[in-house]
Amino acid sequence: MLWAALLTAGLFACKTGENKKEEAPLIEKKNLELKSDVMTPEVLWSFGRVSEPEVAPDNKTIVYGVTYYDIDQNKSNRELYTIGTDGTNLQQITRTRFSENQAMWTPDGKKIAFLSPESGSMQLWMMDPDGANRVQITQVENGINGYKISPDMKKILYIADVYPDNKFKDLYQGLPKATGRIYNDLMYRHWDTWVQSYSHIFTAELTREKITTGTDIMSGEPYESPLMPFGGMEQINWSPDSKTIAYTCRKKTGREYAISTNSDIYLYSVETGKTNNISEGMMGYDVAPVYSPDGSKIAWQSMERDGYESDKNRLIVFDIASGDKKDFSATFDQNVESPAWSGDGQTIYFISDWHATDEIYKLELGDGKITRITNGIHNYTGVIPAGDRLIATLVSMSMPAEIYSVDKTSGKDTRLTMTNKDLLDQLKFGRVEQRWIKTTDNKDMHTWIIYPVNFDSTKKYPALLYCEGGPQSTVSQFWSYRWNFQMMAANGYVIVAPNRRGLPGFGKEWNEQISGDYGGQNMKDYLSAIDVVSKESYIDKDRLGCIGASYGGFSVYWLAGNHNKRFKAFIAHDGMFNLEAQYLETEEMWFVNWDLGGPFWDKNNKIAQRSFENSPHRFVQNWDTPILVIHGELDYRIVATQGMQAFNAAILRGIPAEFLYFPDENHWVLKPQNGILWQRTFYNWLDKWLK
């Protein structure tokens, strides 16, 4: 084949970093000898972050990436590794100053493809499995954002930004330095990015020539695929015969886009250029189509209701020949994530959250039976069938992500990668246990308790109530580089992390109760959790703190006005403070319409009026406790003025307060030095008021 000849000949090959000035040292793993066995912010940011494992077609080798951060340079770099599916033959196959991303095996398993900005913009490259013979494949203007090679290896699809004509261009005549942007409809920004372009799908032939442009299969459409802001290449897939592309798209614009979650699955024929909507009439999110190995069926994740972004994630299987669709999860009161077909097409493996851990399940298509495979105190974040085993990434509150091999029948797992063993072996972690606590309405609520390092039950400790964001986001066995429970334990705190009302993994009723009830039962759940645990002899009831981000930040603000002097310190990160302002400041209108019940001006809407009556800013007159407010300027989901309002209110009321403001961070904190500053400020505040 032509592409194979290109790679064999080494045409267009270039040396790593050729003609590039070396401005900074190479970022790679450092062997650190710690001065203490207790976690610090600097140690936390030294962990290698394992991601994106991909199994070779012969099921013998995995390629994956590890990201390392350099605190002095305030940047990161990602390198690629391979390891056998049996855990042998670990190799680092890249060592460059350019982060290699989205590594995949070519369908014949002879090469590894990946994205790299080595030539200036992000382009597709290929290399041998040992990292040799690095060859640039694309040279698309402005770069590409993702790709997939067709199964027959004759074609490639890639996604790239398309910039529409400026309908107001006449107003810019003679103003080359004007920076103003003019909009006349909604959804003009996403989370941390102003919308100036669309992501479109392109196809091209793999030839001896570098690919400079392709056929835009969405030409002329003002839509995007994958979906902004978090959709990736899992939302686009080739059919096994390389004749069709299945993709996810929400074909709406402006106000209609901003109030709807109704995306669909489209099939594009490479031969005819025609597009067919196979999920028409299904009104919620339909995403991530995956073909069965023989190409006869497509599975995807589907939500039923338009406008509800946290609806149950169903597993739909579509028969291409008959056009029939079946919901195999109709009686399964859990979410389905990351479906993956077995080699024989008779089984679909997937991830589902139940009782605060994410486990691997399987669906047998023959009888429709769903079976749980794994069980433990951990989260699996994805699953890949690989012959007689499953390859999966596992994480917990006590360990960052590593790659595991899982027995398909017993669920027994074997750790394959040991990326952070040197650090983990030097650290002591707090014990993690789960407890069920009775709520005010006599329900059983799952709660994680994380104990301080070297916990001594005869001593008394300060405790932190952790308020989860989302709001529909489980307090599961996650490992966070900001809200890290082991870091809190290392600083001598008991952490109380309840799975209050409004979280998935405990059935539909539990998850949906929160919508339209902000400030209601879920706040009572929080207080139930901290009241029960604070009765323990080892908890000092006079040293209780309350912390959280996003909806957790809202929870902190609300509790600050309604806690009846339980807490001695609060920390709110990127929280909603004024819900009336939030309704008109956020960009995803479907979220506030569903969760708050509608606009604040609709006086006849009892649900909406109850929501806005429970806005935290309405209880500021009750604030009496020191509070730290944290917010990022680039957070367009909950804008920075929400944090400013809360901080200003505290100062005007004479309450001790601090405001940690990041001009260059979004809803998260992603830069190393900002992350360490966050940690230091966080514990400086808690230690000041609770120790």
> Exposed (0-12), middle (13-18) or buried (19+): which is 330, by Cβ within 10 Å?
exposed
Amino acid code (one letter) for 44: L
CA neighbor of 608 nearest in space, from 617, 598, 616? 598
DSSP 148: E
Cα(489)–Cα(457) distance, integer angstroms = 14
3-state secondary structure 418-455: CCCHHHHCCCCCCCEEEEEEECCCCCEEEEEEECCCCC
8-36 in b/e form (b: 16+ CB < 10 A) is eeeeeeeeeeeeeeeeeeebeeeeeebee
Helix, strand or coil, per DSSP, at residue 270: coil
- Residues with Cβ < 8 Å from 150, sequence gap 6 or more? 107, 156, 157, 238, 242
In the chain, DSSP finds a helix count (H) and a strand count (E) of: 13, 38
DSSP 26: P
Q: How far is CA 506 from CA 20, 304, 432, 669, in A?
A: 53, 19, 20, 30
User: Is residue 138 a contact partner of residue 158, using CB atoms and an 8 Å limit?
Assistant: yes
- Catalytic residue numbers read 550, 635, 667
657-662 and 627-632 as β-strands: parallel, antiparallel, unpaired?
Answer: parallel
User: Is residue 409 a contact partner of residue 70, using CB atoms and an 8 Å limit?
Assistant: no
User: Is residue 455 a contact partner of residue 65, using CB atoms and an 8 Å limit?
Assistant: no
Our CA dihedral for 119, 634, 173, 222, rounded to 10 degrees, sits at 70
* Structure-token match 């910039």, residue found: 163
* Structure-token match 């040279």, residue found: 139
- Answer positive or negative: Cα dihedral of 415, 420, 424, 429: negative
135-136 and 146-149 as β-strands: parallel, antiparallel, unpaired?
Answer: unpaired
* Structure-token match 């851990």, residue found: 357
